[in-house]
Amino acid sequence: MTKNKKSSSKIAGAALVLPMMVLLLVSGSTLIQAQPPGRGGGFEDRGPMLDRMLERLDLTPTQQEQFQELLAENRDEHRALRETAKTARQGLSDQVHAVEFNEGAIREAAAAVAEIEEEVAVSRALMFQEVQQILTPEQQAQMREMMESLRDFHEEWGGRHRGRRGRK
């Protein structure tokens, strides 16, 4: 296999595992600021991708138990944040698409979205720090490497918001 094909394989593998890892570990049980209304996401929606990510980090039984406790402790708060964000985004969408233009209402709705996104950012950062405390230094380095690979993938392929064809 050529070096270029190996890089492509790594990128393809990262495309499968890393987005879920970042969504779930870094954002706790939410991906509020990037999720459109009506989409789930988060730890309580555990699926095969999260399981694969956890396998790659090779968590010990103790770490798995700590991880589950962390999820349980934060589940209600993150669910509430997700619902608040969904409502705020819907309010903004309603104002943007209203029959009559009302700049003040649009600005007010946009400010509400910004406020909840600020709360989400702080919550994500706190959850990330708590997750880091569960991981060994080696696992932390592995997670940083996976996150860097994901960042590189998004830069190379235009990110997930660019459409299926990588349009700009």
**How far apart, in whole angstroms, are the C-alpha atoms of residue 145 and residue 49?**
17
**How far apart, in whole angstroms, are the C-alpha atoms of residue 164 and residue 126?**
33
Question: Taking Cα atoms as reference points, which of 12, 17, 8, 5 lies closest to residue 147?
Answer: 17
**How far apart, in whole angstroms, are the C-alpha atoms of residue 142 and residue 117?**
28
**How far apart, in whole angstroms, are the C-alpha atoms of residue 167 and residue 165?**
5
Instruction: State the Cα angle at 145 between 48 and 40, rounded to 5°.
Output: 35
pLDDT at 3: 54
Chain centre to alpha carbon of residue 27: 5
**How far apart, in whole angstroms, are the C-alpha atoms of residue 135 and residue 129?**
10
Helix, strand or coil, per DSSP, at residue 166: coil
Print pLDDT tens along the chain (168 aa): 555 555 554 444 444 444 444 444 444 433 333 344 333 444 444 445 556 667 788 899 999 899 889 888 888 998 999 999 999 999 999 999 999 999 999 999 999 999 999 999 999 889 889 988 999 999 999 988 888 887 888 788 875 555 554 444
Q: What tokens were used for 119?
A: 């709360």
Q: What are phi and psi of 127, to 5 degrees?
A: -65, -40
Q: What is the CA radius of gyration of the chain?
A: 18
pLDDT at 148: 86
pLDDT at 111: 97
Q: What tokens were used for 75?
A: 């589940």
**How far apart, in whole angstroms, are the C-alpha atoms of residue 27 and residue 147?**
13
**pTM passes above 0.75:** no
